Structure 1
Amino acid sequence: MADWQPLAAVIILSKCNGLIKFENRLLAHAWGVRKGQLAFMIHSGSRNVGKFIGGMWRDKAKATWQKGLKYPDSQIFPLSTYSHPELVASYLQAEATAANYAFVNRLLLAELLRLRLREVYKDVEAPLVYDLPHNITLAEGEGWVTRKGACPAHLGQAVIIPGSMGAYSYLMVGRGNAAFCNSASHGAGRIRSRFDLSRKGASQSEAELGLTGVDCITLREERRIEEAPAAYKPIQSVIDVQVEAEMVDVVARLSPVLTFKA
């Protein structure tokens, strides 16, 4: 590690840290990402605050549903700014509160990381490259765009698409494709649920879980199993599809070195 800078960039909201391979060196340089650096990526949200808010306003929307009208099969009850403007406004305010709480979580985790690194390496720079929300409603144009498991990818905007702790993660740049609501995926997506892995994963081998050769520090062993590489789709095909669809372009590829799961 003698020829590495201990920390060059904090890229907020991803799942692992890694070594960098460039696809767009010029743009990476403009963002402060350089060869020989380590990127530390922090993934945290609003925890149960967002879940509580979602459940509360789901019940409120259900209560306003027209009497005698069949409930939607999806059990998603839309709210209109024309019929219930006060309820829409209060929901958006509550969601923004949860999003701000999530931002502060990531900010504090990043600062704790900086403090610990400086205890070891003394004066270390660790600038923020980007903070990326991936479950949020944002005002865009004359309306809103709700992204679940997706993130904004406007023209020139930084985008992070994380892989599992056993796969590459990608620093991308948005292409502002209106056909996809100026969005990109947040990650590869799961093929096995946390419940399925916590129930069956413990009986599987390290190789079956994709954990062979993966360095992970965790306070709870079940978290390591729930987030095992076998839980996720292969990241490369997900990246290739979005590049081909002109949603994003690759700026840099990050190779995982060490993952910490709380």
Structure 2
Amino acid sequence: NHFIEVSADETDAVWLFLHSGSRGIGNKIAQHHIGVAQQVTRKRGTRLPDPDLAYLEEGTSEFTRYIKELRWAQHFALLNREEMMDRVITQFGHWVGGHVRERERINCHHNFTQQETHYGKSVWVSRKGAIRAEPGDPGLIPGSMGTASYVVEGLGNPVSLNSSPHGAGREYSRTAARKTFSLAELKTAMLGIEFRATEAFIDEIPAAYKPIDQVMRDAADLVRVRHKLRQLINVKGD
């Protein structure tokens, strides 16, 4: 579901929007340290209902090494998005035949872990499919390839550990979406938006995702909406 989009807000200002993370290297790092955690758990003699619940203890060399590589991956993801956005802006300028004046850039993580203080305690917060929403934090919340996306500002709700949704979230798994929807339905759902109409993207049909407007209403105590974006062009990799 990584993408590049050209969108417009309520004032017709153009936004270039992309979604990506640390790519394959982040997954490789995670898989390696999950394996290390499982080995350590076995050596400790800790009984767990599932091997995937294995964990590393703060203060150990294994934990320190994991956090170091985790931070590297998060920084790589941030720089990766910066580089991609620089290239998108350059190509967009070529396409429109003129200079592109950048007014604002927002770059936020959506799968990450960091140490924070909540309720008076120093804790490790893992946000999976979520963004940080401290007071004033700028954020981006995409819907789907055919629905609105939002530019937001965090409200710092302590109940959510100062977090908000990263996106709409799936209503159908990829497999279920491929079985449920057709290319014709995808084309209908994407009327008015330029995209590559191929069967490879059936699992990204807007109906496979939860209604983003409802998600944003539910998140009203987590973020303030600055802009609602409508897609003009969507590019996904297959």
Q: TM-score band (shorter)?
A: 0.7 to 0.9
Q: Which residue of 1 aligns with 2:8?
A: 19
Q: Which residue of 2 aligns with 1:91?
A: 66
Question: 2:17 & 2:192 partners in 1: Cα distance?
Answer: 17
The one of 119, 122, 125 equivalent to 2:98 is 122
- 1:16-64 Cα distance to aligned partner (Å, 9 max, x none): 432212xxxxxxxxxxxxx331101011111111111111111110111
Correspondence list, 1:51-62, <5 A: 51-62=27-38
Q: What's the TM-score once normalised by structure 2's chain length? A: 0.87
The one of 139, 150, 163 equivalent to 1:170 is 150
Question: 2:101 & 2:36 partners in 1: Cα distance?
Answer: 47
Q: Give unmatched runs, 5+ long, in structure 1.
A: 1-12, 22-34
User: Contact 2:136/2:153 (CA < 8 Å) preserved in 1?
Assistant: yes
User: Contact 1:19/1:39 (CA < 8 Å) preserved in 2?
Assistant: yes
Question: 1:221 & 1:231 partners in 2: Cα distance?
Answer: 16
Aligned-residue identity in percent: 30
Q: Give unmatched runs, 5+ long, in structure 2.
A: none
Verify: 1:63 aligned to 2:61, yes or no. no
The structure-2 alpha-carbon separation of the partners of 1:209 and 1:47, relative to structure 1 and needing over 3 Å to count, comes to: same
The structure-2 alpha-carbon separation of the partners of 1:58 and 1:214, relative to structure 1 and needing over 3 Å to count, comes to: farther
SS in 2 for 1:197: helix
Task: Give the paired residue count.
Answer: 230
| Aligned Cα root-mean-square deviation (Å) | 2.3
SS in 2 for 1:57: helix
Q: Which residue of 1 aligns with 2:130?
A: 150
Q: What's the TM-score once normalised by structure 1's chain length? A: 0.79
The structure-2 alpha-carbon separation of the partners of 1:17 and 1:118, relative to structure 1 and needing over 3 Å to count, comes to: closer
Supply the AA of the counterpart residue of 1:240.
R
Question: 2:219 & 2:51 partners in 1: Cα distance?
Answer: 27
Question: 2:83 & 2:113 partners in 1: Cα distance?
Answer: 23
Correspondence list, 1:1-262, <5 A: 16-21=5-10, 35-66=11-42, 68-73=45-50, 75-82=52-59, 85-119=60-94, 120-141=96-117, 142-198=122-178, 200=179, 204-207=182-185, 211-213=189-191, 215-218=193-196, 221-243=198-220, 246-262=221-237
